[in-house]
A and B are shown apart, each in its own frame.
Chain A
Amino acid sequence: MSDSPYSVAFDRASVRFPGSAAPALENLTLQVAAGELLAIVGASGSGKSTLLRCVNRLVDLGEGSVSIDGREIREFELGALRRSIGYAIQGVGLFAHLSVAENLSLVPETLGWPRERTNARIDALLAAVRLEPTIYRSRRPRELSGGQAQRVGIARALVAYPRLLLLDEPFGAVDPILRPQLQEELLAVLREARTTTLFVTHDVDEALLLGNRIAVMHDGRLQAIGTPRALLENPPDAFTAELLCGDELLHRYRRARLDERERRA
């Protein structure tokens, strides 16, 4: 049903916000393969959100380029580019004056989908994120719990079969007890969706659980990139080692969890 997933390439991309001394993103070169799930970790202010927002051009690059399927993003018509990319953020992404179904139909309406197709798609997605459509279609965002709102946010990002998904701390506002369940659900939904995903999180365990590869951001720079296994076994630098491996106990725990993930895959 969906077009093939996008590949994304950053080439020496830099972003400097007016009035701040340090660049938000500095000389970033990075390739994301079609269909890959790249987890991006780092502290707040490390540039990980900026990296994401360059791709749908909420932020424009100062220098360098970002390309999608080998084509520079500035060559795309902006609206068309954004409609082909799903975007979900932490917290308040839903529009309070629209019901869940209306929030989800904004992009399909713009794409000119027939009503029945939109409705069928909304029902399927709500079911996929485990929200009973007959109950939740007509709910307003304020009638949802935090976890439910995040599920709707992810459903909205997926509704128009995006070729690329940008998720910025989608579970950041969710109760830690609920997070593992949402993470599992997300993985299941993404397997179905066949899209490329850039997933920003400050939660290392989340990145280790979800990412095909992990990019570590630090002060606007790409500090390290590799598979969870490679980064965990052989962290290339002290910063990455500190962030990913932590102390001896944490390191062992994370390796054990990774073993388990790989067994189940």
Chain B
Amino acid sequence: MISAILAHILLCAVAVAIAAAIAVPSALALAERPKFERPLSALLGALYTVPSLALLAVLVRFVGLGDTSVEIALVAYALYAIFRSTVVGIRAIPAEQREVAAALGLPAWRRRLRIELPLAMPAILSGLRIATLGSIALATLGGYVGGGGLGSIVFTGFALQNRTMLVEGALGVVALALLGEFVFRALEFRTQRL
């Protein structure tokens, strides 16, 4: 049980980290260029709307059963929430602040990292929270295609008609989701009261 929880956490943490490493820099670079940002948002949004079981089925066909397929699916779903929330967070910076940032004449990436990223942080954190909660739920489904984590316990419980296993697995998922919610809410609260 403990190892399943840790495996579940690892699956989700890696997925959210990879998705953030892709989505946050892209959003920082593209937030002021709607011409590029809009098609990327549309693409990620389309990916997000693909039913998760269908996506997993396709991935299993090409990547095979196991954690890798689940991980790819988790990243694909996490990208959208993180990308959109970062874009929205940057655009929500008051116009005066953005102008002053521009008027200082900082190089573009220094301006993004020192000014835009921290000011957009509450929105980015809420995107990470949504991505994390989604991942925790979706990773459970991954048990169906041979992924590790709490899903394997739930689906084994199904297969064996073992109610104890089922309930344990399900409670584990709920506990993780609540923990994730709590951690990110706490982080958001801290960044909001600068």
Q: Could you tell me the distance between the alpha carbons of A140 and B107 in the complex, rounded to whole angstroms?
A: 24
Chain B positions within 8 Å of A91 at CB level:
96
Contact check: which of B96, B106, B107, B110 meets A93 at CB < 8 Å?
B96
Q: Which residues of A are interface residues toward B (Cβ below 8 A)?
A: 56, 58, 78-85, 87, 89, 91-93, 95-98, 106-107, 109-110, 140, 142
B118 touching A89, Cβ below 8 Å: no
B106 touching A110, Cβ below 8 Å: yes
Chain B positions within 8 Å of A92 at CB level:
94, 96-97
Chain B positions within 8 Å of A93 at CB level:
96-97, 100
Contact check: which of B94, B99, B115, B194 meets A142 at CB < 8 Å?
B194
Secondary structure call for the B interface: helix
A83 touching B194, Cβ below 8 Å: no
A87 touching B110, Cβ below 8 Å: no
Query: What distance in Å separates the Cβ of B150 from its nearest Cβ neighbour in chain A?
Result: 37
**Could you give, for residues 89-123 of chain B, a 1 whenever the CB lies within 8 Å of some chain A CB and a 0 otherwise?**
00000101101111111110010001100110100
A-B contact pairs, 5 of them (CB 8 A): A83-B105, A85-B105, A91-B96, A97-B118, A107-B104
Chain A positions within 8 Å of B102 at CB level:
58, 82
Q: Which residues of B are interface residues toward A (Cβ below 8 A)?
A: 94, 96-97, 99-107, 110, 114-115, 118-119, 121, 194
Q: Could you tell me the distance between the alpha carbons of A91 and B96 in the complex, rounded to whole angstroms?
A: 9
Chain B positions within 8 Å of A98 at CB level:
114, 118
Chain B positions within 8 Å of A107 at CB level:
104-106
Across the A-B interface, give the 10 residue pairs with the lowest CB-CB distance, nearest first.
Answer: A82-B105, A83-B105, A87-B103, A97-B118, A79-B105, A93-B100, A96-B194, A92-B96, A97-B194, A56-B103
Contact check: which of A84, A89, A142 meets B96 at CB < 8 Å?
A89
Query: What distance in Å separates the Cβ of B84 from its nearest Cβ neighbour in chain A?
Result: 22
Q: Could you tell me the distance between the alpha carbons of A92 and B97 in the complex, rounded to whole angstroms?
A: 7
- Closest-by-CB residue of A relative to B102 is A58
Q: Could you tell me the distance between the alpha carbons of A106 and B107 in the complex, rounded to whole angstroms?
A: 11
Q: Could you tell me the distance between the alpha carbons of A116 and B97 in the complex, rounded to whole angstroms?
A: 28
Q: Could you tell me the distance between the alpha carbons of A90 and B14 in the complex, rounded to whole angstroms?
A: 45
Q: Could you tell me the distance between the alpha carbons of A186 and B115 in the complex, rounded to whole angstroms?
A: 27
Query: Beyond A96-B119, A96-B194, is A106–B104 a contact (Cβ under 8 Å)?
Result: yes
Chain A positions within 8 Å of B114 at CB level:
98, 106
- Closest-by-CB residue of B relative to A107 is B104
- Closest-by-CB residue of B relative to A166 is B103
- Closest-by-CB residue of A relative to B106 is A110
